[in-house]
Amino acid sequence: MEIKVSNDVKNLAVDVLVVSMFEGEKTSQELANTYAIDRDGFKGKLGQTYLLQTYGQIPAAKILVAGCGKRDEFCENEARTVVYKSVKKLQQMYAKTAAFDFEAGFDYGKFGTIGAMLADYAFDKYKSEKATRVDEITFGNVSEESVKAGKTFGNAMKFTRDLANEPAAYATPSKLAETALSLDGIETRVYEKDEIEKMGMGAFLAVGQGSVQPPKFIHMKYTCPNPKKRIAIIGKGICFDSGGLDLKPPASMLTMRDDMSGAACVLGVMSALKEFHPEVEVHGLIAACENMASGSAYKPGDILTAKNGKTIEVDNTDAEGRLTLADALVYACELGVDEVIDIATLTGACMVALGTAAAGIMGNDKDMVNRIIETGKNVGEKYWELPMFKEYFDSLKSDIADMKNTGSRYGGAQTAGVFLQEFVKDVKWAHIDIAGTAFLEKPEKEFIKGATGSGVRTLLSYILNS
């Protein structure tokens, strides 16, 4: 879909002219006022639409009145939702061109563009019959810059969703490395297995040792002359999580190609940075491997030594994400950055606790956690902080090593959080658990089934505001 800007949208000969309507107000379009409002009593509640034919009275063939709800409650997130709903409607009508004559009262170009691109998204590359799409939309009453920013956000989300939706046979650790190396304006170094061994990443290596796909440690870097801040973002990169020898049951394994959604998020964010050239140094890190069951797989009872020298007794091979993140966290801390954020499809427990509505967040710096939560609110992603009481570590105590990789079934998201904290030193750190939000089993809100690009908008905005 092409997205353009015009200051004369009312006079475009498009298939559909989309006009905004706030509850209790008139629209910018006389026909809409006459038919939708005066005759049929359309109220313009948020997300509702009303369609009418124009029969040659204006250049557009049809008018779609988009309900925007109450004007004083209409902000950027609502603008995104209304544009999303309108584009979905346009697709159902097989419209090919449309123009948006919204009187939002603010520049809705960025969020409108994101909404349009979310509506345009389909993972149909393997389908013979492609999704119905709108070819071109034009926004009125917006700036070129805001639409450009929206496109960068939209493209980053699409990039992440495509990668996470791909079968594991395609999105292998090598593919993630190749993708990282292909990013414009980003310096990337990929560490191969022997180098990962030399770095002492015994926890990460153990997870990947059961797979025929070689592990890759990926370090992407975005730099600028005088960075105001240095941030590392780490994405869990388990390209397939079979559970390992503690094999998952079929129903749980089915979607485990999504276990690299954190990595895909980091790649999406890195792919967008050069468009904004923020004055921040950003390190994107991914310990990519597969967690497989085989003759060479790591075993329950094995003792692993992480990069910081701490030893871990393997209690359950399915708690693999935290092992790979442990080594990545140590690596990130050694970079001497100001802040580290890891994002991971880490625990089913987080999904049980928060559902698909919000991602879990934990950390060692209240202010940083709050800033991430706040950023999320502004861009339409929800986070809920979970506690990191030291009691959660009790169940991780091991008789033969410094800790076990799993503890009590209860409070599983927090147990994972306190486990990760063992590998964080002298840095502000936040951990985001997107197990519930990264991949949907059915369409929800502005997402089709499958990958959502969870975290992309938040992390990108967080970096840009740093």
Q: Which is nearer to ligand BES, 351 or 373 (CB)?
A: 351
Q: Within 197-256, which residues bind Mn ion (CB under 5 A)? A: 241
Shortest distance in whole angstroms from residue 349 CB to Mn ion: 12
Helices (H), ranges, 143-257: 144-165, 173-181, 193-198, 202-208, 250-253
- Which amino acid is residue 421, in one-letter code? Q
Token digits of residue 84: 């999303």
Sheet holding 383-385, edge to edge: 187-191, 216-222, 280-291, 229-241, 339-344, 428-433, 359-363, 383-385
Q: Within 250-269, which residues bind Zn ion (CB under 5 A)? A: 259
State the maximum Cα–Cα separation within the chain, in Å, rounded to a whole number: 82
Q: Which is nearer to Mn ion, 241 or 315 (CB)?
A: 241
Token digits of residue 113: 């563009």
Shortest distance in whole angstroms from residue 54 CB to ligand BES: 48
Shortest distance in whole angstroms from residue 319 CB to ligand BES: 4
Q: Is 121 helix (H, G, I), strand (E, B) or coil?
A: coil
Residue 188's binding partner among Zn ion, Mn ion, ligand BES, none (Cβ under 5 to 8 angstroms by kind) is: none
Query: Which sequence positions are flagged as catalytic?
Result: 248, 322
Q: Is 304 helix (H, G, I), strand (E, B) or coil?
A: strand
Residue with tokens 């609110």: 377
Q: Which is nearer to ligand BES, 96 or 248 (CB)?
A: 248
Residue from 15, 120, 241, 381 in contact with Zn ion (CB under 5 A): 241
Q: Compute φ and ψ for 323, nearest 5 degrees.
A: -70, -45
Shortest distance in whole angstroms from residue 202 CB to ligand BES: 18
Q: Which is nearer to Mn ion, 281 or 320 (CB)?
A: 320
Residue 347's binding partner among Zn ion, ligand BES, Mn ion, none (Cβ under 5 to 8 angstroms by kind) is: ligand BES
Q: Which of the ranges 19-27, 53-61, 238-246, 373-381 carries the binding residues for Zn ion, by CB under 5 A?
A: 238-246
In angstroms, the Cα distances linking 282 to 100, 103, 334, 411, 420 are 36, 37, 14, 32, 21
- Which amino acid is residue 236, in one-letter code? K
- Which amino acid is residue 402, in one-letter code? D
Residue 97's binding partner among ligand BES, Mn ion, Zn ion, none (Cβ under 5 to 8 angstroms by kind) is: none
Shortest distance in whole angstroms from residue 322 CB to ligand BES: 8
**How many residues at the interface with Zn ion, by CB under 5 A?**
4
From the number of C-beta atoms within 10 Å of its C-beta (0-12, 13-18, 19+), residue 94 rates as: exposed
Binding residues (CB under 6 A) for ligand BES: these are 241, 259, 316, 318-321, 345-349, 351, 406, 412, 435
89: Cβ contacts below 8 Å, ≥ 6 apart: 49, 51, 64
Shortest distance in whole angstroms from residue 456 CB to ligand BES: 17
**342 is an interface residue for Zn ion by CB under 5 A:** no
Q: Within 305-364, which residues bind Mn ion (CB under 5 A)? A: 318, 320
In angstroms, the Cα distances linking 140 to 8, 150, 379 are 7, 15, 22
Q: Which is nearer to ligand BES, 137 or 351 (CB)?
A: 351
Q: Which is nearer to ligand BES, 93 or 253 (CB)?
A: 253
Residues at the interface with Zn ion (CB under 5 A): 238, 241, 259, 321
Residues at the interface with Mn ion (CB under 5 A): 241, 318, 320
